Chain A
Amino acid sequence: MFDDDEVLKDGAKKLVSKGVRINEVFSPFPIHGIDPIIGVKQTRLGIMAFLYGLTGLTVATIGMRYFMVVDWPMNIGGKPNFSYLQNMLAFIPISFEFTVLCAAHGMAITYLLLNKTLPGIPAQNPDPRTTDDKFVMEIRLSENPSMTEADLDVVIKKTGFIEIDKKDIK
């Protein structure tokens, strides 16, 4: 456990350079620059948002073409009601809104599912202080087969932590 994000980051750098695999970092806010150090890849949620948006746009286009041109061509002041293309200007606002609606909600739902954060799920942070002002780095022996506990202790000592907690996980 650390009490400063910069100290944790420097510590993580030292550990990684010694070949230690860091399993997880828990922090009260995003630590900028920690991801490449501990090997967290940039998320691809952005691409998902684009795909959801594209779905929304397609649904809106097909829907409005069906409602307004195919199924019931409405006569509005004698304007052309037989072609989607000539009517499209009037459909732009809803096409846009529906694209945003699908992209935003699709991404938000995916985000919650990927994180496994949903109402009723218990919290998994190891210490309640990690949502306040403490930063926890989790290192597992099982993930570092080349090292013994004593080896790890030696390198961890140099990181500037304030507390350490050892647990046996089955």
Chain B
Amino acid sequence: MQKEAAIREPLILGHKTYHDVTEDVCRPIEDKAPRMWYILFGIALIIGLYGVGCIMYLLGTGVGVWGLNKTIGWAWDITNFVWWVGIGHAGTLISAVLLLFRQKWRMAINRSAEAMTIFAVFMAGLFPLIHMGRLWVGYWTLPLPNQFGSLWVNFNSPLLWDVFAISTYLSVSVVFWYIGLIPDFATIRDRAKKRVSKKMYSILSFGWSGRAKHWNRFELVSLVLAGLATPLVFSVHSIVSFDFATSVVPGWHTTIFPPYFVAGAVFSGFAMVQTLLLIMRKAMSLEAYIHTKHIEYMNIVIMVTGSIVGTAYITELFISWYSGVEYEAYAFLNRATGPYWWAYWAMMTCNVISPQLMWFRKLRRSLMFTFFISIIVNIGMWFERYVIIVTSLHRDYIPAAWSMHYPSHIDIGVYIGTIGLFFVFFLLFARYFPVLALNEIKTILKGSGQSYKESPEYHKHH
């Protein structure tokens, strides 16, 4: 059993036993869903289906139904893509990077954060696919022997790197998540009373029995997957940023993009985790496992990554002037004072100023405030991508081609629709899956649980 300093705040509040942990996590799955769940699920489903309808219309008609024009060939679609991929970075960061750093507080949040990651990457992957306009030829991005003049895909192109990065990230995240889920599905299976659910969970748990040798392998597989996923997280958003950074468009051609995008991704991902968990812990009464300390830790991550993002914005501004390249300088002047000034300043306020409020202990431990800021950050991060993409494109080298982008209702419908679909998936997850990593929580119960920390026995060993 691992011990930690007794003065550290316990990670699990209350006097929980192993059985209590099982009960608390499994009860919401075994009970009837509350009415609120059905209401939320209904709303999310309607919005999601509207989005699917918009996508159908888009595929049937062509990408012309978006508000794009000859000057602005990328706008909402790619903004949404980068936004979702960014959100999809928190889960693997929490479970992989924090596992390598032996941060035990991750155990309360990693399962749902990973689920969020996977669903966010689903949504992200949708956008480049529909941006092709012809979804059914999506497989042309793979290096398959073909009859088109034996032409291969271009391995020099960051867009192809993206195909590999996103698909690797998605599939590895799913595997990582599922391997952790297997023992927890076994717990639900062994408790299940109804025939159908017993059968379902028995299939999902792959016949897990909890043998010592299996746990030994389980721990090593988790560790190695974490080791693999850590550079993967950093590489994925770096590669997304290469889509822009390797081009020659002023405002995109920036060498600090990879670290800046990765920090921004973690920043927005943690904000989304906060939004979801603050509701989930309340709705599923998991306050003992995800409490103020966890929220505070996540707020510190938001503060740090927010500061990195802020530094990157200011560096960009400085370099655009210091480089002496007039196009570069104009691109940034135009961002801040041109027709899209409101988007730029929305981004600056949401992403640079709001995380700095987390320096105040009172604010970062306030749940209401955290919820508010988490929404603000996600709005800000959407604007960041919008500013980078649209303001860099809308005034290019030929002033005669200058233009503005106005989203069509399909642009908006597809975006809102993915938010609906995301919540459909997340609500299903919260209903049928163990939302806390049961087997991991149990390993830290004695080291970090409140009742054990307060017992005289605990202090005896120090």
Contacts and interface: CB of A to CB of B under 8 A. Distances in A.
A123 B189 contact: yes
A151 B208 CA distance: 33
Contact of A104 (B143, B209, B214, B228): B228
Interface residues of A, number: 65
Interface in B427-462: 438-440, 442-443, 446
B224 interface: yes
Contacts of B221: 45, 107-108, 111
Interface of B: 1-2, 17-19, 22, 143, 150-156, 158, 160-161, 164-165, 168, 171-172, 175-176, 179, 182-183, 186-187, 189-191, 202-221, 224-225, 228-229, 231-232, 235, 239, 242, 438-440, 442-443, 446
B168 A98 contact: yes
B158 to A, nearest CB: 8
A24 interface: yes
Given A68-B152, A100-B168, A45 B220 contact: yes
Contacts of A71: 150, 152
Given A104-B172, A111-B217, A27 B212 contact: yes
Given A27-B210, A93-B161, A94-B161, A105 B443 contact: no
A91 B190 CA distance: 48
B194 to A, nearest CB: 15
Nearest to B219: A30
A28 B439 CA distance: 6
A123 B168 contact: no
Interface stretch (A13-21, A113-121, A140-148, A154-162): A113-121
A119 B154 contact: no
Contacts of B179: 108, 111
> Taking chain A's interface residues, is the majority helix, strand, or loop, or is none over half, making it mixed?
helix
A43 to B, nearest CB: 5
Contacts of B215: 27, 29-31
B232 A100 contact: yes
Interface string A27-41: 111111011001010
Contacts of B208: 115, 117, 123, 131
A100 B236 CA distance: 12
**Most B CB within 10 A of own CB, among A91, A121, A122:** A121
A25 B164 contact: no
A72 B145 CA distance: 12
